[in-house]
A and B are shown apart, each in its own frame.
Chain A
Amino acid sequence: MNRRIFLKSTLAASVLLGMGGCSSLSKEYWLPTGDLGIVIERADGKVALVNTSQRKKLAEIEGLGDLSHASAVFSRDERYAYIFGRDGGLTKIDLIGRRIDRRVMQSGNSIGGAISQDGSMVAVSNYTPGGVQVFDSQTLERVLDLPAIGKNGKASKTVGLVDAPGHRFVFSLFDAGEIWLVDFSSGEPKVTRFEDIGKQPYDALITPDGRYYIAGLFGEDGLALLDLWHPEKGVRRILPDYGRGEARLPVYKMPHLEGWAVAGNKAFIPAVGHHQVLVVDINTWQEIDRIPVHSQPVFVMSSPDSRQIWVNFAYPENRHLQVIDADNHQHIQHLQPGEGVLHMEFTPRGEEVWVSVRNKNEVQVFDTQTFEKLATLPVASPSGIFFTARAHRIGL
């Protein structure tokens, strides 16, 4: 049964949508957005709009450019998604209009972004020419161009950009080995730099409460930790020697860190160059355990109830998916959904997980209790999956 209400477009609606220069009247699809989500169709520059309760693909939105490694954040009203494309495109998608609202080419090459605490700004981190650009989330007009020139005087690629409480953005400089904190609380951006935080920070996470920012290091063992309640204490190194004395295995895909990897008082983090998931006590920041896993972990994600940790792997072992019990660190499931398992996204309360299986052109939906496959959606070269519930989570 189709519950959509098709609103006939009116001139007023098109004015409200702010489509300056768009003369045609556009259709709107008035659905509650709380159970919507998007899936990046990386090969075709498209985004699939999905309904997470019906497990259905509703529409495809085209014209987003190179979407390899694309990610997304949502406006707090859950109407708009901001997609960060590899080619430097920042695209604002209207989930009600099912079309592109606005799009700007903001750099030559970007890697990800974040939306501010109040939803008024969207920040994008860039590889080429490096640095961070900040945009008005309504108009996509640029409000700040922040080149990331490190202590070494060179422009740096930026990674691990997240929003933090207090109208702040935090990101890391891959080439320069620094963490920068940009504070917008006074209206004017104020930048605090933390230098020499470690070699080649490759990604970062912020804990779900917005307190700790943790950057993973590729160039050496360990992670860099910044307490955002006490930035004056500076950045400290944690797990400095997790791989000491062991030869590093080749890393065929950079691991990712996301806010979801924190479960209760533990953080679960992919080891770099070791087939292990590291477990850290976030009260003491001491290592508790190393869980052996199938191969080089890429995403290590906690279910919303913090009970399960889902892990996918780098090429050529990316057909595997392992599930670990966050309580006792035992393996509880080993799935093989198909070649190219790129990303997982839990439904808001975690009863299901959606999995991108790139080479099979499928998104598979699993029950997180029985591990039964509940649905298969045809989606071309799916990568990132993003549900609108992210709109209300710090760091996502």
Chain B
Amino acid sequence: MIATHASGRWQGRFDAMPPLAWLALHAAALWPHWRWAAARLMDGSDDPLGIAALVVLLFVVVKLEPQLRAAPKPGWLLLSLAATGGAALALFGAPALVGALLAALALAAGLRSFMPSGQAVLPMAGLAVLSLPVVSSLQFYAGFPLRVVTAQLSTWLLQAIGLAAERSGTAMVVQGRLVIVDAPCSGVQMVWMAYFCACAVAAFSGLRDRQLLARLPWVGVLVMAGNVLRNSVLVALEAQQEQVAEAVHQGVGLVVLALVCAAVAAVIRGGRDARA
């Protein structure tokens, strides 16, 4: 098609824009949500873990760039548009996090519309969601249930190995000593880490969406088990000694985190290369 009018030439230039440029424009259009995310990052209410997820996401997208095709698929594009509309509407009343989530999903859908068919988008969507400041909100909504469940399972575990333990609320009384499972102990950070690990490994392994979806519940189970293990070990130590050193807390936590992430990576990879 040869354009004979100035507007037509401009249209041609629009059509010839690379997909990443479209995505960048789309992202720029969603700037209020990034402004909120940046503000949350700076005010110290959250650890800046999202930046790591963002970096990995950008790396994946850049790696994917040669495969992106110029004509996007309308279905995914419509979904992206709907999510963008939802994100814009959310600015007027819904919590900021909901708007940011819709914006992240809109971008993921937009990316999917440019990708060749059969490619997995779930890891990218997951990384986009994880790059938002979600940990505090997760702590707020899911923190208490996680703590109660962790405390209960820890109590059963300690009872099974012979220590006198009982749970009251989110605190545990082990051999007469009160130890509380408070907000920093709830395992929400480990949840974030585990899902980040799962999405990153899935993105680089080229795992299919359906396979990833089938394996995600295992990630949840592994995280729960890991947090219960970490909590039980630390509570048992706290109950025996007067003061457990900070280094011990960190060390045990990191070891359990490494174990959980290794297990998650193994599960996600599935032991074979799933690239088509």
* A and B are partners in one complex rather than unrelated chains: no
A residues near B (Cβ < 8 Å) are none
